[in-house]
């Protein structure tokens, strides 16, 4: 029997387009790990709270290589570095950092020459992550119901190649994020993302998700975009591109 220390519980692995971050639109292999200790009000991947299958790190790595093979066969300019090759690989969840072997997997994928992205809630220590990994770290706004879980100590570990994401569901979220950007001088650290919280489809509305705090006012995509412009915020407005291309509730895309 394979040692538990050499495995991860994986929900799904698939090839699609990166839907968010400054890498939006690029081919990306997603490794979705099972498990999360947050229950954000807008979470669209509650199916990854549980389930999945335990797999060895070698098997996960082999599947990533298999999915990447067609891209590896494309002739690229010799001047390109190993880290410039497509597709990207992203570890997401759930919360990848809940499984300690995610650190070993990310290191191995970097060694394989992939550009590796990590989607993390910001509630866990990011300092052990391989410095070659591009960390996309949330700062949870009040509308998530999980604002108290922000690990502010993580800010000291962020690099210019990392990204901070705010998911904006309400006007109150916007104001909270705007003030934190100014207070912590976040624009001087790394790129900042404002992601509009897409309403959940009925089948995505998990009973364990937190509720938006009473008295909060939902914000539309247009209002969010116009407020960013009016306030001259140094942020990148983003929608979840995969939800524009495919049905919002579709999996494996």
Which 3 state secondary structure label does DSSP give 221?
helix
Token pair for 197 = 């919280």
Residue 3 half-sphere exposure toward CB, CA atoms < 13 A: 3
What does DSSP say about strands 53-56 and 116-120: parallel, antiparallel, or unpaired?
unpaired
What does DSSP say about strands 192-196 and 163-168: parallel, antiparallel, or unpaired?
parallel
pTM given for the model: 0.92
- pLDDT tens for the chain, 253 residues: list them: 445 579 999 999 999 999 999 999 999 999 999 999 999 999 999 999 999 999 999 999 999 999 999 997 665 555 444 446 799 999 999 999 999 999 999 999 999 999 999 999 999 999 999 999 999 999 999 999 999 999 999 999 999 999 999 999 999 999 999 999 999 999 999 999 999 998 886 777 788 999 999 999 999 999 999 999 999 999 999 988 888 888 877 888 7
Q: What is the pLDDT of residue 231?
A: 98
Cα(69)–Cα(95) distance, integer angstroms: 27
105, 91 Cβ separation under 8 angstroms: yes
Distance of CA 88 to the CA centre of its chain: 13
């Amino acid at each position: 029997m394979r040692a538990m220390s050499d495995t991860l519980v994986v929900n799904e692995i698939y090839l699609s387009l990166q839907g968010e971050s400054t890498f939006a639109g690029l081919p990306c292999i997603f490794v979705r790990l099972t498990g999360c200790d947050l229950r954000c009000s807008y979470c669209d991947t509650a199916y990854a709270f549980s389930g999945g299958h335990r797999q060895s790190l070698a098997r996960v790595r082999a599947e990533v290589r298999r999915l990447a093979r067609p891209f590896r066969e494309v002739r690229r300019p010799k001047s390109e570095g190993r880290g410039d090759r497509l597709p990207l690989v992203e570890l997401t969840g759930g919360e990848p950092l809940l499984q300690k072997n995610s650190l070993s997997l990310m290191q191995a994928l970097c060694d394989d020459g992939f550009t590796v992205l990590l989607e993390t809630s910001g509630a866990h220590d990011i300092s052990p992550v391989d410095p070659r990994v591009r960390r996309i770290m949330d700062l949870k706004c009040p509308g998530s119901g999980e604002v108290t879980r922000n690990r502010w100590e993580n800010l000291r570990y962020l690099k210019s190649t990392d990204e901070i994401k705010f998911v904006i569901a309400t006007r109150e979220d916007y104001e909270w994020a705007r003030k934190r950007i100014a207070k912590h001088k976040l624009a001087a650290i790394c790129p900042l993302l404002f992601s509009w919280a897409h309403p959940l489809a009925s089948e995505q509305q998990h009973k364990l998700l937190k509720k938006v705090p009473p008295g909060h006012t939902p914000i539309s995509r247009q209002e969010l975009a116009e407020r960013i412009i009016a306030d001259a915020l140094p942020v990148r407005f983003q929608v979840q591109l995969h939800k524009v291309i495919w049905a919002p509730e579709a999996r494996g895309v």
